[in-house]
Amino acid sequence: MHYAYKLSNELASYGFQIISGLARGIDVIAHKGAIDSNGRTYGILGCGVDRCYPNENIDTFMKTIENGGIMWKKLKYILLKRLIHVFYIIY
């Protein structure tokens, strides 16, 4: 785990973006390394964007939002549907 933290910290300090899940273990450690170097980090969620799983990672979840963002694999379909809806309202 120490090496995951060190590697993500170093890479993020050089401008690399760290992208990983927010699961227990190496995923959350990689995000913490990036956050500690003020780097950009993005979490990929398998559940909905309205909840953090596992709950023990809520601090890292919130800091990831501040230092990059949270992505959800189904988000592109929701955004596309909403954009089409907005397009019809405007025109």
Residue 54 pLDDT: 84
Per-residue pLDDT of the chain (91 residues; tens, 9 = 90+): 899 999 999 999 999 999 888 888 999 999 999 999 999 998 888 777 677 888 888 899 889 888 888 777 655 554 444 444 444 444 4
Q: What global pTM score does this model have?
A: 0.73
Question: Quick one: pLDDT at residue 76?
Answer: 53
Rounded alpha-carbon distances, angstroms, from residue 21 to 8, 15, 30, 81? 14, 19, 9, 25
What one-letter code names the amino acid at 49?
V
Show Cβ contacts of residue 89 under 8 Å, excluding neighbours closer than 6 positions.
Answer: none
Predicted local confidence at residue 37, as pLDDT: 96
Cα–Cα separations (whole angstroms), residue 35 to 4, 12, 31: 13, 8, 6
Return the pLDDT at 6.
Answer: 96
